[in-house]
Structure 1
Amino acid sequence: MKKILNVGDNDVSKQYIPYIAILIGVLSVSTAAVLVKLAGDVPSAVTANYRLLFASLLLLPYVWFKKRDELKRLAGREWVLTIIAGISLAIHFIVWFESFQYTSVASSVVIVTLQPIFAFLGTYFFFHEKFSAGTIISMLIAIFGSIIIAWGDFQIANEALYGDFLAFLGAIFITIYFLLGQGVRTKISVMSYTFIAYGIGAIVIIFYNLLMDYSLVGYQPNQWIIFIALAIVPTILGLNLLNWSLKWVSTSVISMGILFEPIGASILAFFILDEWITWSQWLGGMIVIFGLLLFIASTRRTRRMKITIDHS
């Protein structure tokens, strides 16, 4: 009797493991923005370069020994889509990381979190997904919240509004990355797909840095530690935990969990970077998150595409 009870207790406790993984995953991806700012005077594109480069190198042994056959099965069209997806990911990181030079962590992360709306718009045009009244209302609420943030930042400085615009571009390009990868990820695992996309993205940003005459060497030891931390904590640990959780919980749960990334990032920015949150960021951020929660609730039954969280 005692043995049966213990087994039942273990089964119950295992049910919480995916949610613990989601919590750790969200906390991990929340560190990305703060780590980028801690890199100091390093050009944003260089920071983005090493994040993708080190992440792809860390994935290389696993993909090489475990997933080589998947890569061999990819057709030419799928390679083209993955390459374009990697280019989109590179642009996303360049403009998003650059946004931190002009606006706050809170504003940038909240605005880039609008990505699910762009993803749904993409599925509407490419996959003929239907709009419901609740979807339209929730999108308008989220967009209204972002307008409040942008207006408040504009009152502070024109350059803050420019940073918000860069974050907005970041949300668009990460959406393109997801849409292009949708078909490819039915053929190969997440690990293989991200390995290719990260590698392509790193190569693209290397050429961008050479074009802009940004040095890829000569940085301080603490800055190299930040590059490695970006590859490990928000990229490998955070994203893999969230993707692993998809086996046990619905995409809606993951999407709702990731909406708390702006909160985690803002708290970290307050304590580590001494960034205070303005009233417009508080109000606009809460409205955006509320709108996105409604959006996810209204679309979870009809969406065909899994909205993942590789932006962080």
Structure 2
Amino acid sequence: MDNLVLRSHLALLLAMVLWGSSFIALKLAVTDLSPMIVVFMRMAIGAIAFLTVWPWLRHGFVYQPGDWKYLLGMALFEPCLYFIFEAQALRYTSAGQAGMITAMLPLMVAIAAFFILKERSGWRQWLGFGIAVTGVIWMTLTGEDSEQAPNALLGNFLEFLAMVSAVGYTLLVKHLTRRYSAFLLTALQSFVGTLFFFPLALASPWPDQISLSTFGLLIYLGLIITLGAYGLYNYSLTHLKATVAAGYTNLLPVFTLLFSMLLLGERLVLSQWLAIGLVFVGVLLSQDRSHRIPPEVPPAVTG
């Protein structure tokens, strides 16, 4: 393995670590600030970051007539609806459980593609979907309410709705990535998200002051995650096959669970570990090697 390929693999691994840690950062931030304020500030910081690199980002951007409806729909699903559900979800469930629910996204995309795009899904995908859903329900019902998950049932359901939004985003981006770069689409998400969440943030209760630690979390979410993780992901795509990059996204729930245990002190009972294993079995069983959704589509879980 030459140095360039090795650096690309390391870039992918670091991107997954960053995305996995974003659940913990968001969880901590929404315990100190209103969720809509957190999301607005995160989006605004990301938008400012993208503005600084816009002179380089705009090269190669050629708007295609009629794409406004796809671009608008993409932004509506994510970040708008996605972060409304996810920010609220992390008020009620733990970061680890929310991260595990994201593992269902490829299955949900395949099922949606079956009904909406009339793409064929084999019996293994349907069986895997059923097993994974069973695992998520089991994980939710067997967990006890705690400081990290005061109402896991509600929180996990809201995270599931965030994944439903991510499905709509993924199906639209499947079309858009043929015309625009993933980095450019992420910049558009930050701009639209800033405008969308601004009035919601104004309507939320603002604290007298924001602590330095919370402000640091917002910088981390808006700058390191939004700009850094996508930069690393796109760098890897220039040197590695897209299918290789897509395979790394399976590490997201693993890193999220690991960080939630190390940084938040989250603990799971034995039945929940068994349920998590069931989710992974369902995801692995449903893996579709035909890759109907192009792997270069930017991950919907933008943290």
* Fold conserved between structures, TM > 0.5: yes
Unpaired runs of 5+ residues, structure 1, are: 1-10
C-alpha displacement of 1:147: 1.7
Matched, 1:184 2:176: yes
Cα distance, 1:104–1:52 mapped onto 2, change above 3 Å: same
Q: Which amino acid aligns with 1:130?
A: R
Paired residues for 1:45-84 under 5 Å: 45-67=36-58, 70=61, 73-84=62-73
Among candidates 240, 250, 253, match of residue 231 of structure 2: 240
C-alpha displacement of 1:251: 4.1
C-alpha displacement of 1:252: 4.0
Among candidates 89, 93, 100, match of residue 103 of structure 1: 93
Structure 2: distance between partners of 1:96 and 1:198: 16
| Structure-2 residue corresponding to 1:44 | 35
| Structure-1 residue corresponding to 2:133 | 143
| Structure-2 residue corresponding to 1:30 | 20
**When the two structures are superposed, what TM-score results if normalisation uses the length of structure 1?**
0.86
Partner secondary structure for residue 77 of structure 1? coil
C-alpha displacement of 1:170: 0.8
Structure 1 runs, 4 residues or longer, greater than 6 Å off? 154-158
C-alpha displacement of 1:64: 3.3
RMSD between superposed Cα atoms in Å: 2.4
Structure 2: distance between partners of 1:175 and 1:217: 38
Structure 2: distance between partners of 1:239 and 1:116: 19
**When the two structures are superposed, what TM-score results if normalisation uses the length of structure 2?**
0.88
Partner secondary structure for residue 82 of structure 1? helix
String of CA shifts for 1:230-278, please: whole Å, max 9, x gaps. 1233322223322332344444433332222222122222222111123
Q: Larger deviation: 173-182 or 118-127? A: 118-127
Q: Larger deviation: 152-161 or 39-48? A: 152-161
Q: Which amino acid aligns with 1:45?
A: M
Structure 2: distance between partners of 1:294 and 1:81: 32
Contact 2:107 2:125 in 1 (8 A): no
| Structure-1 residue corresponding to 2:247 | 256
Paired residues for 1:111-190 under 5 Å: 111-153=101-143, 159-190=151-182
Structure 1: distance between partners of 2:291 and 2:260: 36
String of CA shifts for 1:52-75, please: whole Å, max 9, x gaps. 2211221123233441551xx324
Cα distance, 1:153–1:308 mapped onto 2, change above 3 Å: farther
Cα distance, 1:142–1:255 mapped onto 2, change above 3 Å: farther
Instruction: Determine which structure has more spread, i.e. the larger CA radius of gyration.
Output: 1
Structure 1: distance between partners of 2:298 and 2:60: 24
Structure 2: distance between partners of 1:247 and 1:281: 39
C-alpha displacement of 1:195: 0.8
Q: Which amino acid aligns with 2:67?
A: E
Whose helix fraction is larger, Structure 1's or Structure 2's? 1
String of CA shifts for 1:4-31, please: whole Å, max 9, x gaps. xxxxxxx633332222112111111111
Partner secondary structure for residue 67 of structure 2? helix
| Structure-1 residue corresponding to 2:186 | 194
Contact 1:29 1:239 in 2 (8 A): no
Q: Larger deviation: 213-222 or 124-133? A: 213-222
String of CA shifts for 1:50-99, please: whole Å, max 9, x gaps. 222211221123233441551xx324531232122212112211211221
Cα distance, 1:23–1:200 mapped onto 2, change above 3 Å: same
Contact 1:33 1:109 in 2 (8 A): yes
Matched, 1:308 2:260: no
Partner secondary structure for residue 42 of structure 1? coil
Cα distance, 1:45–1:139 mapped onto 2, change above 3 Å: same
Q: Which amino acid aligns with 1:201?
A: G
Unpaired runs of 5+ residues, structure 2, are: none
Structure 1: distance between partners of 2:259 and 2:293: 34
Structure 2: distance between partners of 1:254 and 1:65: 24
Cα distance, 1:44–1:106 mapped onto 2, change above 3 Å: same
Cα distance, 1:91–1:218 mapped onto 2, change above 3 Å: farther
Contact 1:92 1:170 in 2 (8 A): yes
